[in-house]
């Protein structure tokens, strides 16, 4: 399933904001574009392709003609694992750990997204950023920023952001095709992190790279950060962010039941602490 047992690479303070907002939070990115090689991830991507087919990918004739997949590949530092050219975006998808979305003149021309978080990549051909964000709850600010995001994506600089969620599916993919197991305990839940990075291909073309990690939620509840000189409790960070969400965002992110369980766990914790002898 690809579940992580360590959380050393990412600081939750860089990901979780209080209060929670759906507005875009892209920052300039100077980090590396190297890819991890994960057998669990490769196996999951193969399963997604075999089971879902064109529900996770498409590539327009223009994208093929312009060979944008290989142009993206040539920008990335693969080190000794570099292999190009790719035959098509499917060849990319089964040989890379990052999902890929390619846009031209503001519209999606190709994608391979094996680790979708509750959306269907296969029906996004030709859509703009504003149209892609239309179903998102409280997305007015995000949709209004779409033109600015596109200008940044084609500026020649790289940008990145993190998004996160909580799910009862412990797999990399949360495609709508897969039913989510019911749950009555926080121990049955997983914390999902998406790291989105942008690449300028040319003045009219850009790409999103999307890397997904999945962690048992309870594992994070036992961790904290001290890099700022004070202790940041990850459990409290997650709880406070969920509590700050609007009802529409809780509904969109499937967190209403999670919020109820968090409240119950808080009350139990306070009761137990008050009755320690």
Average model confidence (pLDDT) for the chain?
87
pLDDT beyond 50 at 275: no
pLDDT bracket for residue 22 (50, 70, 90): confident
pLDDT bracket for residue 135 (50, 70, 90): confident
The interaxial angle of helices 234-243 and 256-274, nearest 10 deg, is 130
Task: Look at residue 78 in the predicted model and tell me its pLDDT.
Answer: 56
pLDDT bracket for residue 276 (50, 70, 90): very low
C-alpha dist (Å) from residue 60 to 109, 209, 270? 6, 18, 56
Query: Is residue 260 included in any domain, yes or no?
Result: no
Give the tens place of pLDDT for each residue, 61-98. 999 999 999 999 888 865 445 556 899 999 999 988 89
Residue 208 CA to its chain's centroid (Å) = 11
Comparing 132 with 34, the larger pLDDT belongs to: 132
What's the whole-number mean pLDDT along residues 9-35?
84
Query: Is residue 97 included in any domain, yes or no?
Result: yes
* Per-position DSSP letters for 58-89, written without gaps between them: EE-HHHHHHTHHHHHHHHS--GGG-----SSH
Query: Is residue 238 included in any domain, yes or no?
Result: no
pLDDT bracket for residue 274 (50, 70, 90): very low
* Per-position DSSP letters for 19-44, written without gaps between them: S---S---EE--S-------HHHHHH
Distance of alpha carbon 104 from alpha carbon 161, whole angstroms: 21
What's the whole-number mean pLDDT along residues 220-238?
85
Residue 235 CA to its chain's centroid (Å) = 20
Contacts of 125 (CB under 8 A, 6+ apart): 58, 60, 108, 109
Query: Is residue 38 included in any domain, yes or no?
Result: yes
Query: Is residue 5 included in any domain, yes or no?
Result: no
**37 φ, ψ to 5°?**
-120, 110
Query: Is residue 42 included in any domain, yes or no?
Result: yes
What's the whole-number mean pLDDT along residues 115-139?
91
pLDDT beyond 70 at 8: no
Task: Look at residue 139 in the predicted model and tell me its pLDDT.
Answer: 73
User: CB 251: neighbour CB atoms within 10 A?
Assistant: 12
Task: Look at residue 277 in the predicted model and tell me its pLDDT.
Answer: 33
Query: Is residue 253 included in any domain, yes or no?
Result: no
- For residue 204, the enclosing domain spans 13-216
Task: Look at residue 175 in the predicted model and tell me its pLDDT.
Answer: 97
Residue 233's DSSP bridge partners are 224
pLDDT beyond 80 at 120: yes
Task: Look at residue 36 in the predicted model and tell me its pLDDT.
Answer: 65
Task: Look at residue 83 in the predicted model and tell me its pLDDT.
Answer: 57
- Can you tell me whether residue 216 is helix, strand or coil? strand
Of the candidate ranges 84-93, 157-166, 243-252, the one whose mean pLDDT is the lowest: 84-93
The number of distinct structural domains making up the chain is 1
Secondary structure E strands in 117-234: 159-167, 190-202, 205-216, 224-225, 232-233
Query: Is residue 116 included in any domain, yes or no?
Result: yes
């Amino acid at each position: 399933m690809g579940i992580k047992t360590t959380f050393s690479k990412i600081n939750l303070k860089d990901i979780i904001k209080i209060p929670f907002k759906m507005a875009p939070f892209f920052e300039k990115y100077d980090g590396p574009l190297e890819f991890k090689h994960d057998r669990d991830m490769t196996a999951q991507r193969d399963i997604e392709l075999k089971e879902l087919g064109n529900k996770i990918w498409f590539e327009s004739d223009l994208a093929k003609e312009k060979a944008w997949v290989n142009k993206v590949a040539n920008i990335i530092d693969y080190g000794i694992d570099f292999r190009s050219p790719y035959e098509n975006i499917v060849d990319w998808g089964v040989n890379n750990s990052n999902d890929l979305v390619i846009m031209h003149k503001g519209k999606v021309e190709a994608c391979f997204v094996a680790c979708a978080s509750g959306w269907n990549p296969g029906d996004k051909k030709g859509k703009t950023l504003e149209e892609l964000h239309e179903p998102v709850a409280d997305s007015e600010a995000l949709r209004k920023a779409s033109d600015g995001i596109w200008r940044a994506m084609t500026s020649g600089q790289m940008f990145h952001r993190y998004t996160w969620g909580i799910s009862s599916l412990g797999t990399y993919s949360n495609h709508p095709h897969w039913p989510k197991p019911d749950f009555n305990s926080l121990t049955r839940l997983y914390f999902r992190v998406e790291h989105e990075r942008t690449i300028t291909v040319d003045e009219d073309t850009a790409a999103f790279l999307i890397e997904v990690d999945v962690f048992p939620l309870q594992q994070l509840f036992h961790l904290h950060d001290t890099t700022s000189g004070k202790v940041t409790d990850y459990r409290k960070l997650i709880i406070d962010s969920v509590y700050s969400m609007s009802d529409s965002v809780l509904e969109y992110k499937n967190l209403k039941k999670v919020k109820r369980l968090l409240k119950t766990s808080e009350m139990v914790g306070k009761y137990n602490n008050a009755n320690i002898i």
